[in-house]
Amino acid sequence: MAAEAAMFHDKRILLVEDNPKDEALTRRALQKHNFQAAVVVARDGAEALDYLLGSDGTPAGALPQLVLLDLKLPKIDGLEVLRRIRANETTRLLPVVILTSSTEERDILEGYRLGTNSYVRKPVDFVAFTEAVRQLGLYWLLLNTMPPLRGTS
């Protein structure tokens, strides 16, 4: 795992999460498995879009390799964030994983219709949650080959 963790040092995850407990659990899960990826947190949909698209449609900084997106967010909900990510040429191909507690079929269907790469329900149990985060990190940051994205560094 140490060799895998070393490969994450230049990776970035945008965690879009308004619940401080879920944010802390996600960070702890990443640390528990020695992921060295930088975690940027946006606590509402507007903050996420500002980070990804800026005020002029240009990213404020380097794009993340992965967006973990909650659905129930203040200001702008997660499905609208996803819609805008997919509508922008710069972020259209950015991997987005919906990580939510929602089990509503309409959220799942709409998430996929709008172009999410994956829909993961947050497990309630900490051990199961850390395992889910570990698998997400391994797949999206290590195994997955990203398309070339404009605005990345």
CATH code, 54: 3.40.50.2300
Report pLDDT digits (tens) over 53-104.
987 777 777 899 999 999 999 999 999 999 999 999 989 999 999 999 988 9
DSSP bridge pairs for 48: none
Instruction: Give a yes or no: residue 38 inside a domain.
Output: yes
Instruction: Give a yes or no: residue 153 inside a domain.
Output: no
Instruction: Give a yes or no: residue 152 inside a domain.
Output: no
| Cβ neighbourhood burial of 141 (10 Å; 0-12, 13-18, 19+) | buried
Report pLDDT digits (tens) over 23-53.
998 888 888 777 777 899 999 999 999 999 9
Instruction: Give a yes or no: residue 150 inside a domain.
Output: no
Return the half-sphere exposure (C-beta side, CA atoms, 13 A cut-off) of residue 22.
21
| Structural domain of 104 | 2-140
Report pLDDT digits (tens) over 123-142.
888 888 888 988 888 888 88
Helix, strand, or coil (residue 39): strand
Instruction: Give a yes or no: residue 118 inside a domain.
Output: yes
The first and second tokens of residue 44, run together, are 């509402």
Dist CA 52 CA 55 (whole Å): 10
Instruction: Give a yes or no: residue 43 inside a domain.
Output: yes
Total domain count for the chain?
1
